A = this chain, B = another copy of it.
C-alpha cells in the first residue's frame, strides 16, 4: 500500500525549518510494508491545504497529515480535510469537557478559539493525545470510489511520534498484509564512498530482495541492509548472507558489523585489552575527546587529554620539547610523535594519541598546505605515525582528521 505524508505549517516552507517527523514515520511505515510514495509540505493557507489533501487522496491509499490541529486561526487541517472529503465537522462534547478540564487544571481561562480542537470529522475516531491539547483523528473512508485511510496528527515531534506509534501503527497493521523486516548496518572508516560502492555494488545488486543504502560522512561509511519476508527468519537469513559477502572486500576498513560508532568500537577494544587512552590534540581542538566522551561509560577506558593549541601548552602540558618544535615546526611528524608519547607518559595511559595539523583556512604553505595532518599513536613499546592531507573547509578537515585518528587507534588495538 502507498502512503503520502503531508507536513502542514508555513514555518516548514522557510529556509530555516524542515519537516523531520516524516523520517520517523517513514521508517515505521516501511517496517510494516507501507511505501511512502509522496511527501508534501504545505503552509497554513486553507486553499493550499485542501489542494494538498485532495491531491493525496487521489493518488495514495493512506494519507497522514501532521500539524495544523492547534487552537489558533492558522490551524486549519480539520477544516481543510472536511472540505477535501466533503464531510462536516461536529463539535465533540467529551472533548469540549476535556479542554475545559485541562484549562482549569492550569488555572487559566480557555480562549473560545480553543474549542476548535474539539471539532471532529463526521465518522472519524479521535486519537487521544497524552502530550498536548489537540487530539489526532482517524477516518476509514471512501474517496472517488476507493478506500482511503486518513490520519491527522499534531505537528510537534513529541506529540506526533508517540501518537503515531500508539494509534496509527496498530490500525495500519490491521489494514496491511503482515510481513517481517530484518535490518543490519555495516560501518567502515576512511574508504571513499565511490570506492566502497564500486567494490560493493556488484555484490549487493545480486540481492534484489535486500534494500541496500550507503551513507557517507567525513570518512565514515554506513551501509544499511534491509529485507522484508513473510517470516523474520527468512528476512534475517538473507540480510546476514549479504552482510557476510560484503564484509570481505571491505577488509579492515570495516569496523562494525552491527551499527556501532567508531568511538564505541575504540572503547570496546580498549576495554577488551584492559587498556586506557589519553589524547593530545592540536588541530582537532577537542573533537577527538568530545567524540569519545559522548559514549556513556567512556570514563572506564578514556582518561582524558589536552588541547594544546599554543606551542607553550604543547611544551608545558604535553611535554614536547621546545627544541623539537623549533627544529621541525609545530605541525610535523616529530611533534605528533612527541605529543603521543608525552601525553601517554604524563597521564599513565597505556596508549597515547597525538595529532597536529593545519585546519585552515589560513596558515598553509606550499610545503605544509591547509589540510595536512600528522597523527601518532604510542604505547610502552613503540610509536607509529602517519600523515594525511584532507580537503575541504576547517570543519571538514577537523572531522576527517578526527575520524582518521580514531581509526588509527582502532587498528593499533586490533
Residues of A within 8 A of B (CB): 11-18, 20, 23-24, 26-27, 30, 35-43, 45, 48, 51-52, 55, 59, 213, 215, 224, 278-279, 281, 284-290, 292-294, 296-299, 302-310, 312-313, 316-317, 346-348, 359-362, 394-395, 398
- Look across to chain B and name the residue whose beta carbon is closest to the beta carbon of A24: B15
Query: Once the chains are docked, how many angstroms separate the CA of A259 from the CA of B361?
Result: 21
Q: Which residues of B contact A347 (CB under 8 A)?
A: 312-313, 316-317
Q: Which residues of B contact A51 (CB under 8 A)?
A: 55, 59
Q: Which residues of B contact A17 (CB under 8 A)?
A: 215
Q: How many copies does the complex hold?
A: 2
Interface centre among A45, A224, A307, A362 (most CB of B within 10 A): A307
Q: Which of B24, B41, B348 contacts A39 (CB 8 A)?
A: B41
Q: Which of B37, B302, B307, B312 contacts A293 (CB 8 A)?
A: B307
Query: Once the chains are docked, how many angstroms separate the CA of A24 from the CA of B16?
Result: 9
**26 intermolecular pairs with C-beta atoms under 8 Å apart:** A13-B37, A14-B213, A15-B23, A15-B30, A18-B20, A18-B23, A37-B42, A37-B48, A38-B43, A51-B55, A285-B290, A285-B293, A285-B294, A285-B298, A286-B288, A289-B307, A290-B290, A293-B309, A294-B398, A296-B361, A298-B309, A304-B306, A304-B308, A312-B347, A317-B317, A317-B346
Q: Give the shortest distance, in Å, between A199 (CB) and chain B (any CB).
A: 19
Query: Once the chains are docked, how many angstroms separate the CA of A26 from the CA of B362?
Result: 32
Q: Which residues of B contact A316 (CB under 8 A)?
A: 346-347
Query: Once the chains are docked, how many angstroms separate the CA of A285 from the CA of B224?
Result: 30
Q: Which of B285, B299, B313, B359 contacts A309 (CB 8 A)?
A: B299
